[in-house]
Structure 1
Amino acid sequence: MKKFHKAFALLAVSTLLILAAGCNFFGNEVGKMKSALKGREAIIQTYDEESNIIDKIEGKSIDIGANGSFELKDSEGSTVQKSGVMSITVGGKTMMHVGSSLILNEKGLTNVFEEYAKTNDLESSSRSIPFVNKMVNSVKNLTTGQKLLILVRSQSGKPLATFVGNNVSYFTTDIDKSTGFLVDGKYLFIYRCDYTVYDLSLFN
């Protein structure tokens, strides 16, 4: 019984250490993203449910975070629900955003979907050929040599952006319904979007 208690205690401590390390990693990545964007150019685009672009903002020194006024906290002051309202600063100018799909990508990350859309009539695409397969084959010059593909979709499931890279990792953020990505050293942030990460070899 003593051995069991000792093993259980060791497992509990190990789990707590892993969780703490994970929290530190996510916190560090959010901090790195904010630090990196302060001196670099990035593009912010919002989309409607049909994947149409509502607005496009480009700038340097972008800061993005949750508006803490909209967090839900319990009686002890602990956050029980993260804020879904974003506060964004672009070159010292501020904006707030909530609701519609938003993508922020650091300049240097190519939105493969935009390149594909330039040469293809999306409304008349043949439904007999899976959409991702057709896109990958159409933009071979942008996908050759890459390992992973991130397909981002609107809240109604319509494709709106695609990014590719060899090294892709993801992390949580302090904004509800959002995910941060690091794609070959460049930051990508998506809010209120569906997404799938594929191994590109699946489409060869």
Structure 2
Amino acid sequence: MKKNSIYLVLLLLASLTTILSGCNFLENKVGEMKSALKGREAIIQTYDEESNIIDRIEARSIDIGPEDMFSTIDSQGNKIKNSGVLSITVGGKPMMHVGSSLILAEKDLHNIFEEFAKTINIKNLDRSTPFLNRLVNSMSNMTTGKNLLILIRSQSGKPLATYVGNQVSYFATDVDKSTGILIDGKYLFIYRCDYSIYDVSLLQEQ
């Protein structure tokens, strides 16, 4: 193969890699625009430090973003720190939230932790078996065929939600202490939570 042909192949491979890696980024941006225009069909839940649900809101049109009046602005008018206060629109009606852990899950995202909690006494976990391994073993029918598992914890470190998916990407948001995650094309918004992302096969091997 001629040198020019090799360079062309390498260039095409590099371009394809860039395009593929940017697909989820583009999908996330498109989702943000759709959310701003008509909202997402989703569920919002807030949690205390013990991972107990404080409130739950389900609606066909939810949009979530920063309340910009609480952003930190320098003397030149540039934003130097994002707002940590959430501005939420639910069916066209306003709502604000700050402080406690919050998760927005788009329709069809299934929190397998809620099923796990119905059958396992969370407060009396056997310390000889790691929590995640018990969850994966107990919910094997839900994790089969999935590549990645997202474990979300409260601000005090107690598990409160778990999602699985084949394609998972995470993104910065305009809200302080928050992350946006795409799970198989569905949007998950996490505010003031700890989280870890694991390969499911790694947990099944333990």
Q: What range is the shorter-chain TM-score in? A: 0.7 to 0.9
Higher mean alpha-carbon deviation, 34-43 vs 158-167, is at 34-43
Q: Is the contact made by 1:62 and 1:90 (CA closer than 8 Å) also made in structure 2?
A: yes
For 1:82 and 1:39, locate their aligned partners in 2 and report how far apart those are by CA, in whole Å. Answer: 22
Match of 1:193 in 2: 193
User: 1:58 aligns to what?
Assistant: 58
Secondary structure, counterpart of 2:99 in structure 1: coil
Specify every segment of 5 or more residues in structure 2 that has no aligned partner in the other structure, as ranges.
1-17
Mapped to 2, the partners of 1:39 and 1:47 lie a distance apart of 23
C-alpha displacement at 1:36, in angstroms? 4.7
User: For residue 77 of structure 1, what is the aligned residue in structure 2?
Assistant: 77
Three-state SS of the structure 2 residue aligned to 1:57 is strand
TM-score normalised per structure 2? 0.83
CA-atom RMSD in angstroms: 1.9
One-letter identity of the residue aligned with 2:139? V
Distance 1:164 1:170 in 2: 14
Counterpart AA for 1:143: T
Q: What one-letter code is carried by the residue in structure 1 that aligns with 2:34?
A: S
Q: Distance in 2 between matches of 1:155 and 1:191?
A: 10
Supply the distance in 2 between the matched residues of 1:160 and 1:48 (Cα, whole angstroms): 10
Report the counterpart of residue 33 of structure 1 in structure 2: 32
Residue 144 of structure 2 is matched in structure 1 by 144
Q: SS where residue 77 of structure 2 aligns?
A: coil
Question: Contact 1:26/1:172 (CA < 8 Å) preserved in 2?
Answer: no
Q: 1:55-90, CA deviations, whole angstroms, 9 ceiling, x for partnerless residues?
A: 000001111110010000111111111000000011
Given the alignment of the two structures, is residue 161 of structure 1 paired with residue 161 of structure 2, yes or no? yes
Contact 1:111 1:162 in 2 (8 A): yes
2:194 partner letter:
D
Counterpart Cα distance in 1 of 2:39 and 2:174: 21
How do 1:1-204 residues align onto structure 2 when only pairs under 5 Å count?
Answer: 29-30=28-29, 32-36=31-35, 38=38, 40-204=40-204
Shift of 1:35: 1.0
Q: What TM-score comes out, normalization by structure 1 length?
A: 0.84
State the one-letter code of the partner of 1:157: G
Percent identity of equivalent pairs:
65
In the alignment, the residues of structure 1 paired with residue 39 and residue 73 of structure 2 have an alpha-carbon distance, to the nearest angstrom, of: 33
3-state SS of 2:196 partner: strand
| Structure 1 runs (4+) greater than 3 angstroms displaced | 25-28
* Matched residues, number: 182
Take 2:40 and 2:80, find their aligned partners in 1: how far apart are those partners? 33
One-letter code aligned to 2:185: G
SS of alignment partner, residue 61 of structure 1: strand
Matched residues in 1 for 2:196 and 2:69: separation? 31
Using the alignment, how far apart are the partners of 1:61 and 1:87 within structure 2? 14
**Closer, same or farther: CA 179–79 of 1 in aligned 2, 3 Å:** same
